[in-house]
Amino acid sequence: MRFLETVEQKGLQETVKVTPCGCLGPCDNGPMIVVYPEGVWYAYVTPGDVEEIVESHAVQGKPVQRLLYQWPEQET
């Protein structure tokens, strides 16, 4: 699993937990990733996006804007 490997490579096992699951709701926008405790949702995540999400969000605390899921009620 790419996320688990990346978290381990960066030595983040004590602060970042990777939990696989089934559908979280908007399955037709997947693969989906949710980062807690912020509750930030990412949509259409590819293996190539994993390094960027871990580095930007988990390490630097900056969500990856281009991958953020827009809930239908949030669309403008």
CATH number of the domain located at residue range(s) 2-74 in this protein: 3.40.30.10
Taking only the tens place, the pLDDT of each residue in 5-47 is 999 999 999 999 999 888 888 888 889 999 999 999 999 999 9
E-only strand ranges, the chain: 33-35, 40-42
Amino acid at 20: P
| Residue 75, pLDDT above cutoff 70 | no
Q: Which residues pair with 68 in a beta bridge?
A: 42
Domain spans, the chain:
2-74
The whole-model pTM stands at 0.86
CB 42 within 8 A of CB 50: no
Task: Classify each residue of 37-64 as buried b or exposed e, where b means 16 or more C-beta atoms within 10 Å of its C-beta.
Answer: eeebbbeebeeebbeebbeebbeeeebb
